Amino acid sequence: MSGLFAVLLVGLLSISGPAFAQDAEPDKSVVSAPAELVDPAISTEVFAYRLIPLTKDELDPLATAWLGIVQSKTTEISARQVALLEDPSAATDAAYQAIARMVEERAGLFEHFTMTVNAFESKGGDAALVAELRAYRDSVLFYETLLASPKAIAIAFFSWLTRSDGGLAIAKDLGVVILAFVALLFVSRSARGLARRWIGRVPNMSRLLEAFLVGAVFWLVIAVGLLFVLAALGVNVTPLFAMIGGASFILAFAFQDTLGNLASGLMIMINRPFDEGDYVLVGGVGGTVRSVSVVATTVNTPDNQVIVIPNKNVWGNVITNVNASETRRVDLVFGISYEDSIPDALRVIEDTVKAHPLVLAEPEPVIRVHELAASSVNFVCRPWTKTADYWTVYWDLTHRMKVAFCEAGISIPYPQQDVHIRMTEA
């Protein structure tokens, strides 16, 4: 429709006055072509299929025949335009609209003419003849546009807007598209809700994979629905599939890194090394996983920075999932002075650890003398707690141990060095 409208406007721009004229004599070359293929009333779809089996030799007279048809219609339009110039008193809106209808009819004829010339060229037709035929079409449109009058433009445009097969048809199609898109949004959201409920029943499925599948259902419903709407409006969607197939082959090379991230994202969702809400260490970054798209993983650091990591860098590195287990061991080291009692220190550490309400009884905490360091005797303290309570236990025990050592009279030495000076007689 848009192509025909463009040709219609170009032709209408050339109108410089109202017209009535004699019909031109039909071109004699039409007789040399099959009657069913030179019928101006033949539909574009039927005409396209009938062109397929024709050979170069059969298309040659057919192209010449269609040249005669469009020339005859152009002669008729030109005669009416000349009549308008010679008799300005006949410049009525009805005369302009009559020429507008003629130009639109010729637009359909030009479409068949162009299809014939293209088929003739693709099957090895004479290049000089092809150039001559196309030059005629381009010249007609160019000079009609050059001679266009402002009044003709305005009348043609407003006439087209009010016609049922012109502006009103496009407005109707736009309305259908808008309503269909709103309906598709409703249907796709409903499908997304149903998919979320159905996928939620699948055991051991990560939230990341669930979110990906639900989103895929949403966009798939919209894409398929749009194709059905376009097909219902008469748009040929077959070339879209061919275009997508060819473009996907090219894009596969152009977006190799993106495809690598996509494959890595799918591996993360399927193998589930972590899930949404887990605290992970990966690629030198530690944070809570907020989301995983098809190309990147988004994490929030403890200081609330948002870091986006390409999935290829995530899957290709060592992944540490802090939240993978329900319990976690807290590793602490406490030092006492060499002058303090080791048994007293062990008792204080054990009592402090057992008194903490978040420390688990099983597994039993490990408390041992670990190292005779340069400035202190170091003890390891390794209690177990729930993963969510890790930092609470870590900070609480550090605080309580300092207080308990002070109450028991046990010192916590700071790094120091003894210097011995030996005096010798000269």
Could you tell me the CATH number of the domain that includes residue 281? 2.30.30.60
| Positions of the chain with pLDDT under 50 | 1-31
Q: Is 137 helix (H, G, I), strand (E, B) or coil?
A: helix
Q: What is the pLDDT of residues 367-393, one digit of tens each?
A: 999 999 988 999 999 999 999 899 999
Q: 110 with 147, same domain?
A: yes
Nearest-angstrom CA–CA distance, 423 and 400 = 46
Residues, the chain: 426
Q: Which pLDDT score, from 0 to 100, does residue 5 have?
A: 37
Tell me the CA distances in angstroms from 346 to 55, 267, 369, one per residue in order. Answer: 101, 48, 8
Q: 133 with 199, same domain?
A: no
Q: 72 with 151, same domain?
A: yes
Going by their DSSP bridges, the two strands 366-372 and 306-310 should be labelled as: unpaired
Q: Domain for residue 91, yes or no?
A: yes
Q: 147 with 67, same domain?
A: yes
272: left (phi over 0), alpha (psi -120 to 50) or beta: left
Dihedral, 83, 87, 93, 94 alpha carbons, nearest 10: -60
Q: 286 with 220, same domain?
A: no
87: left (phi over 0), alpha (psi -120 to 50) or beta: beta
Q: Which pLDDT score, from 0 to 100, does residue 228 have?
A: 76
Q: 313 with 331, same domain?
A: no
Q: 74 with 151, same domain?
A: yes
**Residue range of the domain that includes 220:** 168-235
Q: Which of 266, 288, 321 is the last residue of a domain?
A: 321
Q: 40 with 156, same domain?
A: yes
Q: Which pLDDT score, from 0 to 100, does residue 239 have?
A: 67
Residue 349's contacts (CB-CB under 8 Å, 6 or more residues apart) are 334, 367, 379, 381, 401, 404
Nearest-angstrom CA–CA distance, 426 and 423 = 9
Nearest-angstrom CA–CA distance, 202 and 217 = 16
Q: Name the domain count of the chain.
A: 4
